[in-house]
A and B are shown apart, each in its own frame.
With several copies, the nearest count.
Chain A
Amino acid sequence: MSAPAIVLGVIGADCHSVGNRIMEGFFSGEGFRVVNLGVMVSQLEFVDAAIETDAAAILVSSLYGHGEIDCQGLRDLCIEKGLDRIILYVGGNLVVGKTPAAEVEEKFRAMGFDRVFRPDIDLKEAAALLRSDIEARRAKAS
C-alpha cells in the first residue's frame, strides 16, 4: 500500500512556523507523504490540497489563540466538497488562554475533529494514532 498523504498547515492568520517545520520533518521521516501548506492557511486551501493529493488526513495546527474561530465549519466544508471520510486532526494552543485540556478537546470534537492534541504531544504518539486511524478507515472502506 502506498504511503498515505497527509496535509499539514497552520490555519487562519497564524504565523507560528516553528512547530509546523518540525512536524513536516517528523511526519516525512515517519513515512507519510507530507503536503505542507505552511502557515496562514485558509480552510479552502486545506480542503483543496486534500482533494488534489487524495489525502487521508488533514492535520490542522493553531497556536495563536484564534483556533476556535478559524476552525469552525471545516468539517462541513470537507463534506460539501465531497471529502466525507477524511480524518481531521487539530493541535496546538487552540483557544485563548490556559484552559483545561478536556474542555478544549470537547469543543473541537464538537466541531468535527477526530482528535485534538495539546501542544506538548509527543509526535510519535500522534503518528501511531494517525496510522491506526487511517488503517481503520481503509478497513471500513473496503
Chain B
Amino acid sequence: MISNETVDLKEFETIRKEVLETWPTGKGVRIEDGVRYQKRIPEEKRFSTAMKTARDKGRILLQPRAGVALIDEHIKLLRYLETEGEADLLPTTIDAYTRQNRYEEAEKGIERSKAAGSSLLNGFPAVNHGVDGCRRVVDAVVSPIQVRHGTPDARLLAEITLAAGFSSFEGGGISYNIPYTKKVPLEKSIRDWQYVDRLVGIYEDQGVRVNREPFGPLTGTLVPPFISHAIGIIEGLLAFKQGVKSITLGYGQAGNILQDIAAVTSLNELAEEYFKRAGFEDYEFTTVFHQWMGGFPEDEAKAFSVIAWGAVVAAFAKPEKIIVKSPHEAMGIPTKEANAQGLRATRQIVSMLADQRLFDSLTVRREVEIIKREVRCLMDKVYELGSGDIAAGSVAAFQAGVLDVPFAPSIYNLGKVLPMRDNEGFLRIFHKGNLPLDNDVMAYHREKLGERAKAEGREISFQMVTDDIYAVSKGKLIGRPR
C-alpha cells in the first residue's frame, strides 16, 4: 500500500540503480555532479528565485511551451523565444514517446528528424540526449528553464534533467497520470513521483532549490476549479513531504472572468490553508495560470483573441506566471514565430493592464466561498478514505470516484462526473457522479444550470456538454443551440 511517507534513502538508492539502467544515458548520472552543476547556475537563472521575486513584486512572468527533436534546433527555438518572444521563463517540452518511456521510438524520431531536416517529434527527447546534451541547452539560454512534459514515470527524466541544470520540473503523480495515460495504475505513478520529489528534496538538502509545478489544467476541457484545486493541493502536500520547498500550483482558464479570478484567489487561500494545516511552513508557494487549454479556433485572428482573453483574465487574477498559447494552437506545434507571437500578444495585454484593478466583487467572493466548500468536500473525504494519509486516500478516492477528472483517458478514473456551463459561462456540475459534494452545493449548481436551460428553452442534456466542448473553437464560450 502506498503512503505519504518520506522515501527512505536506502530504498531510494536501490530504486535509483534500476531507474538509471533503463536507458544507456542513465548510466553514470551522479547527483553530486548535478548539484555542482546546478550551483554554478547564476541566481537570476534559478526558477524558484524568479517565481518568488514575481510574487514579492506582484509581477506576472510569461512562459511558452516549446520543444523539438534535435539539440541545435531546440536551442535556436529557445533563444528565439527569449529574444523575439521576450519570454521570461523557458520550457523544454518533452516529446510524447519519452513521456511513455518509449526511448527507442524517440530514438527513431531523432533519426527521422535528422533525415527530414525538421522535427518529427512533438517535443525534446531529453532522456535520449542525456545529461551532456541537456546541459548544452541549459547553458545556451539566459532565462530560468523548466522541464515540461506529461510523464507518469518521470524518474529517469528527472535524474537526467536535474543533473543537467534544469531548475524546475513540471508534473505530479495524479496530474501526469490521469489526463495523460490509459493504463498506468495511480498507485504506481504516485510512487514514481514520490521518487521524483525525493530527488528534488535531495538536491534541496544539498543547497539546490528546484521548483516543482503540478499540472493544473488536467484534461484542459471544462474542468471545474475545485477538481483541479483539490488535485493540485494533494500533489503539493505529497511533494512537500519529500522535501520540496518551492511549489507552483496551476489553474487552467475556465472562461468566465469572475469564476477565473475566484479560482486563482481560492487556490491561493486554500493551498496556504492545507499546507499550513499539514504542518509545512518553510516553503515558497506561487501560482500559474494557463491560457485556455481546450480546443482553439483554427483561424489565427480568433486564436489571438482567445490568447488575449486569457491574458486579460490573468492580468486581473494576478498569478505569478502565465503559460502562453500560440495562434497555431488548433493546427499543430507552433513555429517559433507563432510561439513568439503568442508571447508578444500576451505581453501587450499584461503590461497594458498592469496597473488596472477590478474592484471588489460580491460575485467573486461568492464563487471563492463556493470553490472552497467544494474543495473541502473532496479533501475531507480523501483524508477519510486514507485514514489521514493523503497518498492512500487519493488512490482510494479515484477508485471511488471521489476524485474524478472529466474526459480523462485513464481507466483508473471513474469518468462519471460531467461538467457544463451555466448561463453566464461558469463551469458547474451537471452529473456529480460520486463526487462527495454536499446537497446544498449541488442545489446551487443545479439552480445555475436551470437558468441556462430556461434561457435556451431546452432540457439540460449531454448535447449541451458537447456543445460546450466545441464552443470556444466555434467562437463562443457557451454552446448555445444555433
| Residues of A participating in the B interface, judged by any CB pair closer than 8 Å | 12-18, 21-22, 25, 38-40, 64-66, 68-69, 93, 95-99, 119-120
Question: Which B residues from 451 to 465 make CB contacts under 8 A with A?
Answer: 462
Interface size on B, residues (CB 8 A): 41
Secondary structure of the B contact surface, majority rule: loop
Q: With A and B bound together, what is the CA distance between A14 and B334 in angstroms?
A: 18
Listed A/B pairs (20) with beta-carbon separation below 8 Å: A12-B96, A15-B180, A15-B409, A17-B409, A22-B469, A40-B182, A40-B183, A64-B96, A66-B121, A93-B332, A96-B118, A96-B121, A96-B122, A96-B332, A97-B119, A97-B328, A97-B331, A97-B333, A98-B332, A98-B334
Cross-chain contact A96 with B97 (CB below 8 angstroms): no
- Collect the chain B residues with CB atoms within 8 Å of residue A22's CB: 466, 469
**B188: Cβ under 8 A from any A Cβ:** no
* Contact, CB under 8 Å: A98 / B120: no
> Smallest CB–CB gap between B279 and chain A, Å?
35
Residues of B within 8 A of A68 (CB): 120
- Chain B minimum-CB-distance residue to A39: B409
Interface stretch among B102-110, B255-263, B351-359, B386-394?
Answer: B102-110
- The reply to whether the CB of B25 lies closer than 8 angstroms to some CB of chain A is no
| Bound: A134/B373 CA distance, A | 53
Interface flags, B12-54, vs A, CB<8A=1, else 0:
0000000000000000000000000000000000000000000
Q: Which residues of chain B are near A65, meaning CB under 8 Å?
A: 96, 121-122, 332-333
From DSSP, what is the main secondary structure of chain A's interface residues?
loop
A14 lies within 8 A of B108 (CB) = no
A25-B462, A69-B109 known; A15 and B97 CB under 8 Å?
Answer: no
Residues of A within 8 A of B335 (CB): 97-98
Given contacts A98-B335, A119-B330, contact A66 B96 (CB under 8 A): yes
**Residue among A25, A38, A66, A69 making CB contact with B182, cutoff 8 Å:** A38
Q: A40-B409, A69-B112 are in contact. Are A64 and B122 (CB under 8 A)?
A: yes
Question: How far apart sit A68 and B112, CA to CA, in the bound complex (Å)?
Answer: 11
Interface centre among B102, B121, B332 (most CB of A within 10 A): B332
Chain B residues 105-149 with CB under 8 Å of chain A are 105, 108-109, 112, 118-122
